[in-house]
Structure 1
C-alpha cells in the first residue's frame, strides 16, 4: 500500500473515531508528493500518524520572471533615421557594419587581446546633442542583424532619457526600478521586440536620486551579472555625456569598450580631449564622427567616421 493510501486510510479511521480534523485553507491548492517506496514491514497501526501523512507540495511555484514583448513600428524607426531589418542596403547600413565589426570581435574575445567585460559597450559623447542616442540605437539594430549574436539596448541616460521615444515606445519600468527594488529581476523589465535578437532595457521609473543610483554598488553588481549571464549577448548603453555628469565617468569605469560620438564641425577639440581624459581607465576607447560631410560623388549628404582615440 502506498503512503497516500495509508494516509487516506488513517484519516478515515480518525473520522470514524469522532476526531475532528482541520480543513486546509480554501485558497491553498496542494498535492501529495508521490514517493516510490517499498511497502513498510509493519502494519498501518504501528506507524505514528505524523509518519503516515505525505508532505504537501504547492502546485503553484513562484511566478517566473518573464520579459514583456513590444512591437517596434518599422515606419517610426525609418522616420527617426534608425536602421530596420527589412530595409534595403544603404550607405549608412554599410557604415554601421564597419563600425560594429571591431566592437563585436572585442566583445567575443576575437580581438588582438581579450578584454574584460568586452561585451559591455558604452555609447557616450562629450556634450549633449552630438547624436549618441541615435548612434546607440543604430548600432544595436545593426548588431541584431548578426547571425551569432543577440543585443540588449540599455537606456542609461537617467537624466535625459530619450531612447524609448526615438524607438516609438511608451515609458516603461526598467533600470532604475531594478536598482531600487531588489525583488525585481532584470528579466521582468526587459522589453522583447519583434526584431528577433534585440531586447531593450528602459530607464524606468523616475527617481529623485537617479544619478546616484547609476553610480551605486547595486549598479556595479547588476553590470557584473549582465556581463556574465549570456555569453552571446552584446550590451549597448546609451549613457549620459561625459562632461555634464559624473555618473557617466563612473559607468565608463565598468565598461569593456567606450565609443565617444563627436559631432562634426560642432564639438570643440578641447572638449573631446577633456572627455578622453575622464575615461583613461577604460581598456578600449573609440571615437565616432557623426554628421561628417561626405563627398558629393557619394550621393549622400552626411557620413560617419570611425577611429581610435589617443
Structure 2
C-alpha cells in the first residue's frame, strides 16, 4: 500500500544542520522500503512505470516532437485534493529522470504550506524557495542542496508565509523561474505543488510552468473534482494525467498510467 505522503505533517521553521548545509544525504534505503524508485532498486514495477511516464515529458521538454515549449523543462506535479500521491509521483519522477544520461534534475518542494519532500527523503527542513523570494540578498545557489545522487539537487520550500500566493505570482518568482529554466539547458525542474482545490498557490504556480502533471487517485477522486481541477488548468497548454493507485493483480499494489 502506498504511503499518503501528502498527509504528512509539515516541518517546523527551516534550520541549517550538519557540516555542509548545502548537501543532503538522501535515505535511499528508506525510499526502497517505501517501494520508490532508486538507482539501486533494479527493474521494479514502479521503476518501469515511471520510465514510461517520463519519456513524453522529456521529449516535450527538449522539443523533440514539435516546436519547443516555453519553460518546457519546468514540470509541476499537482492533484485535485490532498492524499492522491502527488509527492510520491514527483519524487519518483525526479529519481527516474536523474537516471538519464546528460540530464540533471532539480526537485522543488513548492507545497509551501505543507512541505513534505525533505521529510520523505529523510532530510531535515532547510531554507529554500520562500526564503529566496523574501530576501533580496539570498541567491538561489545559497539554498539549493546537492545530494548523494549526482544528477539530483533539491530546492526546499523554506519558511512558511501567509502571503505565499502573492509571492508565487510576483515578478521575483517570474525572474526566478526564468533563471531556473535557462541557466542549465539540460536541467529538468520538477515542482511538487499544493493541491489545486485546496489552495490558490497551485493554479498560480501551474500557470507559469511549461508542463503540468495532474495526479488522479483511482477509485477516490470524483469526476467533478477532476473537471474542476482541469478548469483551473485551462491557461496551461500542456497538461498530462497520471492515474495513481489503481489496483493490479496484487491487492494494494500501485500502478501508474499516462495520458496526453
Structure 1 residue 207: Cα displacement: 2.5
Structure 1 residue 282: Cα displacement: 1.1
Name the structure 2 match of 1:301: 253
Structure 1 residue 212: Cα displacement: 2.5
Name the structure 2 match of 1:110: 64
Provide the rounded CA distance (Å) in 2 between the counterparts of 1:278 and 1:159. Answer: 19
Structure 1 residue 302: Cα displacement: 2.5
Q: Does the CA contact (< 8 Å) of 1:80 and 1:166 recur in 2?
A: no
Structure 1 residue 131: Cα displacement: 0.3
Provide the rounded CA distance (Å) in 2 between the counterparts of 1:158 and 1:272. Answer: 23
Q: Larger relative contact order (C-alpha < 8 A, sep ≥ 6)?
A: 2
User: 136-145 or 109-118, which moves further after superposition?
Assistant: 109-118
Q: Does the CA contact (< 8 Å) of 2:165 and 2:204 recur in 1?
A: no
- After the TM superposition, which residues 88-237 of structure 1 pair with which residues of structure 2 at under 5 Å, given as runs? 88-237=42-191
Provide the rounded CA distance (Å) in 1 between the counterparts of 2:141 and 2:117. Answer: 19
Provide the rounded CA distance (Å) in 2 between the counterparts of 1:283 and 1:114. Answer: 13
Rg: which structure is higher? Answer: 1
TM-score under structure 1 length normalisation: 0.75
Q: Does the CA contact (< 8 Å) of 1:67 and 1:192 recur in 2?
A: no
Q: Does the CA contact (< 8 Å) of 2:109 and 2:157 recur in 1?
A: yes
SS in 1 for 2:67: coil
Identify unmatched segments of 5+ residues in structure 2: 1-19
Structure 1 residue 300: Cα displacement: 8.0
Deviations 1:45-90 (A, max 9, x none): xxxxxxxxxxxxxxxxxxxxx9812211211222333211111211
Structure 1 residue 97: Cα displacement: 0.3
SS in 1 for 2:246: strand
Provide the rounded CA distance (Å) in 1 between the counterparts of 2:22 and 2:253. Answer: 39
Is 1:283–2:202 an aligned residue pair? no
Provide the rounded CA distance (Å) in 1 between the counterparts of 2:214 and 2:237. Answer: 14
SS in 2 for 1:154: strand
Provide the rounded CA distance (Å) in 2 between the counterparts of 1:142 and 1:74. Answer: 13
Q: Does the CA contact (< 8 Å) of 1:153 and 1:236 recur in 2?
A: yes
Identify unmatched segments of 5+ residues in structure 1: 1-65
User: Matched residue pairs, number?
Assistant: 241
TM-score under structure 2 length normalisation: 0.89
